[in-house]
Structure formats: C-alpha cells, structure tokens
Chains A and B, each alone.
Chain A
C-alpha cells in the first residue's frame, strides 16, 4: 500500500487507516460502511437487532462467503473464475449421489463433494496454464460444463435425503451457532492468514501485481496459477457442501449466478479486479455488507427488485470511494 504523502502530521483517521491496512489488510471505510448499515437497519426495523437475526445474516452469507474467498484468491492473482456457481451445484450433486445413491459413509461423501470441486478447478487451471486459453474463456466453458454435468448426474432432479451427519454440517447448531457459520468463519480465518501472511499469499499477490516481475523473481507462475484454480474449485466444492447439507439435498440448479455475487463481495471488500490487491477479511466485510443489506431490506419488506438495485449501487459506490482515495493518495 502507498503510504500517505501528507506533509503535515497525519490526522487520527489516516493513522488508523494506515494501521488497519498494515495490520489487518483491510480498509477502514468498508468497516465504517458496514457499521453504518447495521445502525441504519437497526433504526429502521425493530426486528433487526437480535442475536437470532445476526445468525440469520451469517448463515445467509456463509455459502456466498466461501465462494467469495475463492474469488478473492483468483482475482488478486490477476485471474478470474466464472465457474464458481456451477461448480458449487456440481459438487453438491456429486456429494448427494455418493451419500444417497451409492450409500457411501459421510466422510467419503464429504470428501467427494469437495474433491469434485477441486477436480473441476484443476481442469480449469490445467487448460489455462498449459493450453494458454484465457481464464475468462476456460472458466466460462466450465460454467456450462459443470452445470450440464450436474443435471446429467442427477437426471435434472433434486437428490433428497442426505445421511444424518451430513445434514448436521448444514443444519446442526452447536452452542446455538449454525454449523455453516462455524465452517465459514474457520475457513475465512485460515484463508486470511494464508493470503496475508504466508509466502503462498505473497506470491499470489505479486503475480497479480506484475506477472513478469514475479517470474523474474523466480516464482513458478504457471504452477502457482494451477494451485490457485484448484483451491478455488475446492472452495466452491465446500460451498456446495454447505448448500446441499443446509437444504438436505443435492440441487442441480443450485448456485446459478453465484459467481457474480461472489466477485461483487470481493470487490466491495477492496479486492482489485485486475490483481495485485486483495484480503480475505476485506472480502468478508464486503460479503457482510451485502448480507446486512439484503436481510435488512427483507425485514423492511422491500421488494427484491430494489434489493438488486441497492447491491448494484453499493458495488459501484465502493469502487468509486476506492478510486477516489487512490487519486488523493497519489496526488503530491
């Protein structure tokens, strides 16, 4: 991050800002917007400010949140994965097929769900890095292939009736906290550490910042990309697991257009669409901004059409603030 070039002593806000970027890799504005939204919704709706409603928000954000983590990794490396939503659907169907139709035990079915996603991601990564086909094209192709395959495997029908322990992953509530929320938060913390503080994360960001420089510095860019798409697919598989276990069935139409929502969350959270910058904590805040907005508007009985407009508006606003600030910073 570029430090501020203010000649006078920086104010409290800019010092806090710099600290949060250095320590947590997030921009303070996004937290301000999130808190502002929460305050606004709490004032507008008497039903908003309660523990059970916050659990609702986190639960509603968990699937998209896991996908947004995948999107953040790929985007910040200068890549793109448009197949996230379809891979989510495919993984859920594969998992349900293993558990219901083949009668496999839960651990096998869970691994199959995540594995199916990772495999789809591996194929993406392989074609992108070895076949030199642009990521946009490959993952757009996978969007169709995975969705079609999900419909083929399930014969277009919802596969209902997962085993008890699988359903627990989606519907269980240890200590009153829904399992998908626990899984989502644990994964987010691990992935935040990976992206912000490990060599793997630094390589990811430097490839996104300047691919040639990264190559010159000795990073095996192709192999790194391959692992990133596999990771992205695996996370989509995990999201598929959360989705399927939550509704106790593998739904071949699950996750349509979720890739766009996931990318939106990542960008609201400050990920650069063209690579070089991204943080999972930021993305989580982006996803929560959308989650709070949707939940609040639902409680206020605002039609879903307006909700789409609101989220679209927030996306553009977030990038606008970001760009505005960057212009201010580069002005000497």
Chain B
C-alpha cells in the first residue's frame, strides 16, 4: 500500500516540474487570448508582448486550447481576476462567453479592453458593462476591400458565380467580413452572383470540401472569398486540384504567414491583411495611457491592407513592415 502513496507523490512531483512559479507583482496587465495555435492570434500576442516590453509593464498572458473553448476561456478569465491586474486585454471567443467575468472585472475597477472587436456594443450596454476601449480592424471594411479587389480584377460588368466561405457559425467577426463582402460586391458588380455562402468554421479542410462541392455544381466559378486565410488556402487547394488555378480569384482575410508565402508563389490571389501585430502593440500602448489616467478613444480602428503579389514585389507600402 505504501508503494501507492509513493506513486502518487511521484505524480505530484512531475506536475510540479510542469508548473513554473511566478512571483506576485504590484501592477500587472492581464492578457487573455483565444488560442495561440492560430498564427493570427499568435502574431497579435507577440504584438501585445512587444508593446508591454516597450512600455515596461508587467504582463501575464493566457490563452486557451482552441478557438471554440468558450467556457474554458471564461474560467481562465475568472482565475485571472484572482491576480488583481490593473487592466485586462481580452479577445473573447464569442460576444457573450466572457460577460460575467468582465462584469466582475468592472466591479473590481479593472480596466477592460476588447481586443479585435469581439464584443457586441448592444449586448455590453444591456449588461451595463463599460469597456475602456475596443481595438481592432473594421471587419466590414475588410470584406468590402476584398470585394473591391475582386471587381478590380474581373471588371464591373463581369458575370458569373461567386462563393463565400463564412467563419464559425455565430462568430461576429466572420459575419461582418462575409456581409461586408456581399454588400460591396452587390453594389460594385451586380453581375457577380453569390451562389453559396456557407460556414467553413475557420477550418481549412472544411473550406476545401465546400469548394469541391460548389465547383462540381458551378464549374465556371469566378471567385471565392473566405473569411480567413486558413479557409482561403483550403479552398485554393481544391481549386488547383480541379485544374482551375488560373480561372478562379481566391481572396482570404488576415494576411498570415502561410497566406503571404502562397501569394508570393502566385497561388493565392490576395489576402486582406489585418495587422494583428500592430493591433496588439497599439492595444497595450493605449491601455497604458488609460491606466495612467489619460483619455483614449473608445473605438480604435487599425487599417487593413490588400496584399497581392504585386504589392509585395513593389515593397513600397509602409504598412508591409507589420505583415508577419
């Protein structure tokens, strides 16, 4: 029997080895991300860390295991409150999952920042949560920029079917990008018809399957707009496998490193690049100002940039510096 005890102790020792002790600090910034496994969130996390280092503040970054771990993110958020940070920079998984925690944070006088505009202002008002500011790209505009670029390539009087691959069902970011694209396309080139708008759940494989199916139905597909780069790359694989690589314009959103590589090699047509690194960096700079008692804008919009092979080869665009 005593052996059993020994085994249990051995197990605990292993756990102790996994854990890293972090001493307590007087003034800390808590940063709550989605998952760092996604290069977009990874880049934003790096930007926040860089901003924190530049500003010389202590920070504490946490992420959850996946883009869908809504409850687990709420639990991490509650745990974060125990450390009593002065400010919390949060990238909520959806518009509601963090609400109880944000409310508590507000009651404790912690400044709350909405990173990348995941919170819904109406819901925040209904819950009487007053966030310090929201920072991110304008996703509706990013979608519209995608449509503008597609029309610039095909012409305003182009005719034909177009596929839209939405994000995760229920995710506000994906919805904004998809509707931004659809509305702008309708206005700029009414002849281009969106034959399907389907949720790809941010999943590369799912986007590839959707594209296959739609290509079967509409072999003359003119363009694909995907609400993120991962899905655009998945769609691209299907398009090239079907031998239509030169006929279909494929546009993603984010400007992540995989997409940049693909655009450079002439496969993916374009990506409406968000500058997650810059978003993260500015978020920290602004929140530091707010903590020090200065006024900050309630809604900080970081611009987006249409990345194409041409733009990258020219290299004259100043914002290219922030494309990671």
Contacts and interface: CB of A to CB of B under 8 A. Distances in A.
Nearest to A167: B100
Contact of B1 (A11, A309, A313): A11
A154 interface: yes
A158 to B, nearest CB: 5
Interface in A119-175: 151, 154, 156-158, 160-161, 170-171
Contacts of A20: none
Contacts of A63: 71
B65 A156 contact: no
The residue among B14, B74, B170 with the most chain A CB atoms within 10 A of its own CB is B170
Contacts of B100: 170-171, 246-248
B82 A157 contact: no
Contacts of A307: 65
Contact of B8 (A13, A32, A252, A294): A32
B47 to A, nearest CB: 18
A300 B65 contact: no
A101 interface: no
B83 interface: yes
Contacts of B8: 29, 32-33, 36, 321
A32 B3 CA distance: 13
B11 A317 contact: yes
Interface residues of B, number: 53
Nearest to A55: B78
Interface string B168-184: 11100000000000000
Interface stretch (A43-51, A105-113, A203-211): A43-51
Contacts of B15: 37, 40, 293, 310, 313-314
Contacts of A60: 75, 78-79
A72 interface: no
A13 B169 contact: no
Given A29-B4, A47-B24, A308 B82 contact: no
A156 B200 CA distance: 12
Contacts of A296: 19
A151 B198 CA distance: 13
A203 to B, nearest CB: 31
Given A46-B24, A253-B70, A253-B168, A298 B76 contact: yes
A174 to B, nearest CB: 16
Contacts of A194: none
A247 B21 contact: no
Contact of B11 (A33, A50, A295, A301): A33
B68 A253 contact: yes
A37 B8 CA distance: 10
Interface in B132-184: 168-170
B122 to A, nearest CB: 9
A45 B70 CA distance: 25
A156 B94 CA distance: 12
A196 B72 CA distance: 31
Interface stretch (B56-64, B240-248, B288-296): B56-64
A134 B210 CA distance: 32
A17 B1 contact: yes
Contact of B7 (A14, A253, A294, A321): A321
B314 interface: no
A11 B1 CA distance: 9
Interface string A25-45: 000010011001100100011
B16 interface: yes
A198 interface: no
A310 B65 CA distance: 13
Contact of A36 (B9, B19, B74): B9
Given A13-B2, A36-B9, A247-B100, A308 B123 contact: no
A325 B72 CA distance: 34
Nearest to B14: A313
A36 B36 CA distance: 31
A224 to B, nearest CB: 32
A303 B63 contact: yes
A153 to B, nearest CB: 12
B170 A252 contact: yes
Nearest to B21: A44
A227 interface: no
Interface string B75-109: 11011101100000000001111011000000000
B26 interface: no
Interface of A: 11, 13-14, 17, 29, 32-33, 36-37, 40, 44-47, 50, 52-53, 56, 59-60, 63, 151, 154, 156-158, 160-161, 170-171, 243, 246-249, 251-256, 293-310, 313-314, 317, 320-321, 324-325, 328
Given A252-B169, A301-B20, 8 more contacts: A160-B95, A247-B96, A253-B68, A295-B75, A298-B62, A300-B20, A301-B61, A302-B20
21 contacts: A29-B8, A37-B12, A37-B15, A40-B19, A44-B21, A45-B21, A170-B100, A247-B74, A252-B169, A253-B168, A254-B71, A295-B79, A298-B75, A298-B76, A298-B80, A301-B22, A304-B63, A304-B76, A309-B18, A310-B15, A324-B3
Enumerate the 6 nearest inter-chain pairs by beta-carbon distance, A residue then B residue, closest first: A156-B169, A60-B75, A298-B79, A47-B82, A249-B96, A157-B170
Interface of B: 1-5, 7-9, 11-12, 14-16, 18-24, 35-36, 60-65, 68, 70-72, 74-76, 78-80, 82-83, 94-97, 99-100, 123, 126-127, 168-170, 199
